[in-house]
Structure 1
Amino acid sequence: MRNKIALFSLQTFSTTGGIQKMTRTLSYCLNRISEGASYDFAFWSVYDRDQDLMDKYLPAAKFKGFKADKVKFTSEAIALGKHCHTVILSHINLASVGVAIKLINPKCRVVLIAHGIEVWRPLSLLKNLLLKKCDTVMCVSEYTRKEVVRLHGIPFNKCVVINNALDPFMPLPHQLNKPGALLDRYGLTPQNNVLFTLARLANTEQYKGYDQVIKVAGRLKQQFPQLKYVLAGPYDIDEQQRIKQIIAQNSLEDVVILTGFIEEAELTNHFLMADLFVLPSKKEGFGIVFIEAMACGLPVICGNADGSIDAVKGGKLGTAINPDNPDELREQISKYLQNSFPVNQRLELQKECFGCFNTDTYSEKLKNLLLNDRSF
């Protein structure tokens, strides 16, 4: 009898974000592994619809969307779990499913993926029970593993770290020229020193550090009169007002450009447009956006107080700074802009990043996990 492996997620294809991107890549790799191994693979999502599937990641026959019918999803997922060898939960909010499967089918291996802030806090009794009952906690960074162990008393050897990988369908540029159409759109020229940040700008999530970048830009514009800061990502009204207030207080109306939401198809060109990616966040579980930037040859500055450290390989690929130290942030931005980053170094950065975070390496680590081999 063939082994059955199921991946359960909240939402993957009908919206975008770090967890959604990670789960798409995970489903792609699990499907590839299943095609070369002796098991069946199924991927079910609570909030997606069947038609939301991007079938380049996996065939429609292996995907099922429940259109936000949580009761139906829960009952059918538990029923499927009765016959599974392994169940992978993409989020701790699926705790009820994981606990029920473990109770009904104790031999089923339950793997919980731990991303970041969702497990860096006190948890409900049910979520704590899942952490104790599951067989493996797959953490996306060393920092997340450390927090899971510290906050919830989970044994260290029950947690494994598998860093996120680049989306297999992200177009990686061969030429690193600045795209003229985007420069025109934002009123930029090749002579501008362009800082770039891509993040969700939410009033409830003021830990990303882009407000610090705005303030530092106010101190840098005398040194770099061609400085521009492109701050991209969807924003709520309260956060838009807060950001505009900071911009006005620092007289940066001609420096900071708010783009709003960027379509995924335009992401690569936005990285190519910039000279430096800056996101001194304090609560990144990993930070897929960092490896996306570097895969486009764009150097990055990140925070050193969270999972971002894994994305820059401890400083080997990028610069990690104290996110609460604006002087260090200003100094590092200035250093990059003064020395520039020539094309040959950008191409080398791109090569090194892809070597660390490609789907082949990721798939190999997943196979080791499924085989319960912790040697990686």
Structure 2
Amino acid sequence: MNHNQSNLPTTKLVKKHVFIFLEIFTCEGGIQSYVKDIFQAYNYLNQSQSYQAEVFLLRDELEQQNPYATEQFQFHYLKTLPPWRGRIKLALSLLTCLLLRRPQRVYCGHIKLATLTKTLCQALGIPYTILTYGKEVWDTLPQNQRQALQQAASIWTISRYSCQRACQANQIDPNKVKILPCVVDGSIFTPGNQPLELIEKYGLRDAKVLMTVARLWSGDIYKGVDVTIRALPKILHSFPNVKYLVIGRGDDRSRLEQLAQDLGVAQQVVFAGFVPTEALVDHYRVADVYIMPSQEGFGIVYLEAMACGKPVLAGDADGSADPLQDGRLGWRVPHRDPDAVATACLEILQGNDQRCDSQWLRRETLAKFSQEALKEQLQQLLASES
């Protein structure tokens, strides 16, 4: 061997990735929050790894303040009217990228984009991964989307429950599914005193406060706000000072208000409407209990509440098993059962369970679902698929 050659510097192999999403910046929601956490983790890993990625966003316009864009992490905004023109633009832009850059892997960020991803990637011999979240893959999909899942090199999803539902409904090999869970920013969601201005604003002085953060859409009644309202009369027998703070907006609010009126608990239910993300932490601090007997793919809100040291109640047959660590950190009850919800709330309000210990709850939550944990898990997934 030529000893001079052995001393030459080695060049790191650049791993090229492509990500495709519907929309991340033009609306807020659990999926958008989750994807942004992935972006942040990817950028962090890029400081020590040689990654190069391009992100295609079908319904987003140019984002002037995109904090994730770097020279190695480029974004393409493809929103075009009419929408069909945007889909054509996406197909052509993606095909050009795949032909010229030949990435090691394509990450498809929504099942609605899976057929296009499969078609282009298989034609060019490029492996692809599909990201799934919850209800969008829990039932049997159209054949083209089902085949895209079945033929993907891998599938990422956010919880064991979502994995199980998707695999059963669409004949997917569970071995190709990898779990990349949601996480919470423990530097933002922290315990603190109840903000007096919110206590006054919502009329919560001397009250025990139950709280839910959820969309109040008629198509989302699975969130369980109506079940919690039905549980209030039983709770009020033991805790007459209970108030239920409901954060969120949507077309189902009038039905819920009428339900509270019919049950004689309208004075106990406070509809706060929309609260921006930056104000949520103060609202969690107002609460004594976070309650959402729902059917979630995961439930980031449970992590946010527990990071703020608040005990939580969730459904017992959904993805909330992961953030609640199978009931070790919170209460899990049949999600459409007001009596079960009331019984669990009474236990929580008595405060005798370890799951009501604010410091312990926060510590155990962040040990598994912090942004640091996400970086490690993402690194392992990317390494296993390189």
TM-score, with length taken from structure 1: 0.92
Deviations for 1:160-206, whole angstroms, at most 9, x for unmatched residues?
112111247x6132x521011111211211x2100000011110122
Name whichever of 353-362 and 272-281 sits farther off. 353-362
Structure 1 Cα separation of the partners of residues 92 and 299 of structure 2:
33
Q: CA deviation at 1:43?
A: 2.1
The one of 42, 59, 62 aligned to 2:70: 59
Name whichever of 219-228 and 193-202 sits farther off. 219-228
Q: CA deviation at 1:342?
A: 9.6
Q: CA deviation at 1:318?
A: 1.2
Give runs of aligned pairs for residues 295-334 of structure 1, distance below 5 A: 295-334=307-346
RMSD of the TM alignment (CA)? 2.1
Q: CA deviation at 1:13?
A: 1.6
In structure 2, the partner of 1:117 is 135
In structure 1, the partner of 2:169 is 151
Q: Does 1:274 align with 2:287?
A: yes
For the 8 Å contact 2:285–2:308, the answer to whether it is kept is yes
Give the % identical residues.
27
Q: CA deviation at 1:109?
A: 2.7
Give runs of aligned pairs for residues 1-376 of structure 1, distance below 5 A: 2-51=14-63, 53-55=65-67, 57-59=68-70, 62-68=74-80, 69-82=86-99, 83-106=102-125, 108-167=126-185, 171-173=188-190, 175-189=191-205, 191-236=206-251, 239-282=252-295, 284-339=296-351, 345-372=357-384
Structure 1 Cα separation of the partners of residues 138 and 355 of structure 2:
39
| Inter-CA distance 81–373: structure 2 relative to 1 (3 Å threshold) | closer
| Structure 2 unaligned spans of 5+ | 1-12, 81-85
SS at match of 1:51: coil
Structure 2 Cα separation of the partners of residues 371 and 54 of structure 1:
26
Q: CA deviation at 1:52?
A: 5.8
SS at match of 2:219: coil
For the 8 Å contact 1:30–1:41, the answer to whether it is kept is no
For the 8 Å contact 1:102–1:133, the answer to whether it is kept is no
Deviations for 1:282-341, whole angstroms, at most 9, x for unmatched residues?
2x1111111111111111100011111111111121111111332221111001112278
Point out the structure with max Rg over C-alpha.
2
SS at match of 2:283: helix
For the 8 Å contact 1:21–1:167, the answer to whether it is kept is no
Structure 1 Cα separation of the partners of residues 329 and 88 of structure 2:
45
Structure 2 Cα separation of the partners of residues 59 and 186 of structure 1:
43
| Inter-CA distance 353–214: structure 2 relative to 1 (3 Å threshold) | same
TM-score, with length taken from structure 2: 0.89
Structure 1 Cα separation of the partners of residues 208 and 356 of structure 2:
19
| Inter-CA distance 58–296: structure 2 relative to 1 (3 Å threshold) | farther
| Inter-CA distance 16–58: structure 2 relative to 1 (3 Å threshold) | same
| Structure 1 unaligned spans of 5+ | none
Deviations for 1:342-362, whole angstroms, at most 9, x for unmatched residues?
999212211211111112211
SS at match of 2:267: coil
Structure 1 letter corresponding to 2:237? Q
For the 8 Å contact 1:193–1:226, the answer to whether it is kept is yes
Name whichever of 29-38 and 59-68 sits farther off. 59-68
Q: CA deviation at 1:19?
A: 0.5
Structure 2 Cα separation of the partners of residues 145 and 101 of structure 1:
25
For the 8 Å contact 1:27–1:43, the answer to whether it is kept is no
Q: CA deviation at 1:121?
A: 1.1
How many residue pairs match? The answer is 366
